[in-house]
Amino acid sequence: QKEVEQDPGPLSVPEGAIVSLNCTYSNSAFQYFMWYRQYSRKGPELLMYTYSSGNKEDGRFTAQVDKSSKYISLFIRDSQPSDSATYLCAMSVGGGADGLTFGKGTHLIIQP
Amino acid sequence: NAGVTQTPKFQVLKTGQSMTLQCAQDMNHNSMYWYRQDPGMGLRLIYYSASEGTTDKGEVPNGYNVSRLNKREFSLRLESAAPSQTSVYFCASSLAGGRNEQFFGPGTRLTVL
């Protein structure tokens, strides 16, 4: 079983809809959780960063972490065609300089 | 600030050739990373450097070497390229390790024939 599971999609929704993207993980030592957006043939762009459990909101984006269920979510409100991209969840234990463990990414399509 | 920059953007190699991928950051970050991204596999860590003068293996280090030239620069070398190393390579940096956000460069798209 891979450490981080993420549905690859594609997930297609109409413009203006609320989008819910999710990841589950198996390593209970993960403490730092990130969401990246990646446009085709570009580098990952950091969207949200959270520590431990709880919610964090930034504009149209809300990140949720439920460590008891080992489940994280990213919500996008009032979705726009420009939100069409691949969304990657990533997490780390936070010790030393350990790298991130990524999900495989969800391909999101916002239909105009 | 340019953030994280990578050169070259694209490269085609023949099996057995060598090359070095360059990465630089101007954010005064201590930690730097190399990842590869393959279809269906996601991003996987190759090597990382916690701070200037230190390097460590990640999940998929075989066939690669790295050099932390100074605080700004972290290079990845393929000594004898193989078709299995065809991938997109990303460099990233963070202020101090896994507790901090990582910022990524634009990537190098490498094809090994």
pLDDT score at A99: 87
What count of CB pairs under 8 Å joins A to B? 75
Does residue A96 belong to the interface with chain B, where contact is any CB pair within 8 Å? yes
What are the tens digits of pLDDT across the range B14-40?
Answer: 999 999 999 999 999 999 999 999 988
Instruction: Sort out which chain B residues have CB atoms less than 8 A from A98's CB and list them.
Output: 48, 97-98
Instruction: Sort out which chain B residues have CB atoms less than 8 A from A36's CB and list them.
Output: 104
Query: Under an 8 A CB cutoff, do A34 and B96 touch?
Result: no
CB atoms within 10 A of CB A111: 11
What are the tens digits of pLDDT across the range A85-112?
Answer: 999 999 998 766 678 999 999 999 999 9
Contacts of A8 (CB under 8 A, 6+ apart): A104, A105, A106, A107, B40
Query: Under an 8 A CB cutoff, do A100 and B43 touch?
Result: yes
pLDDT score at A63: 97
pLDDT score at A94: 79
Query: Under an 8 A CB cutoff, do A92 and B103 touch?
Result: no
pLDDT score at A96: 66
Mean pLDDT of A14-24: 97
Select from A78, A88, A75 the least CA-distant residue to A33: A88
Query: Under an 8 A CB cutoff, do A34 and B101 touch?
Result: yes
Query: Under an 8 A CB cutoff, do B43 and A90 touch?
Result: yes
Is the confidence at residue B98, as pLDDT, over 80? Answer: no
Does residue A104 belong to the interface with chain B, where contact is any CB pair within 8 Å? yes
pLDDT score at A97: 63
pLDDT score at B85: 98
Query: Under an 8 A CB cutoff, do A94 and B98 touch?
Result: yes
What token pair was written down for B32? 């730097």
Q: Which of the two residues, B100 and A12, has the higher pLDDT score? A: A12
In Å, how far is A85's CA from the nearest CA of chain B? Answer: 15
**Amino acid at site A5:** E
Checking DSSP bridges between strand A19-25 and strand A32-38, what pairing results, if any? Answer: unpaired
What are the tens digits of pLDDT across the range B34-83?
Answer: 999 998 888 999 999 998 889 999 999 999 999 999 999 999 999 999 99
Does residue A99 belong to the interface with chain B, where contact is any CB pair within 8 Å? yes
Instruction: Sort out which chain B residues have CB atoms less than 8 A from A104's CB and list them.
Output: 40-42
Mean pLDDT of A24-38: 95
In contact, A56 and A47? CB cutoff 8 Å? no
Is the confidence at residue B12, as pLDDT, over 80? Answer: yes
CA A104 to chain centre: 10
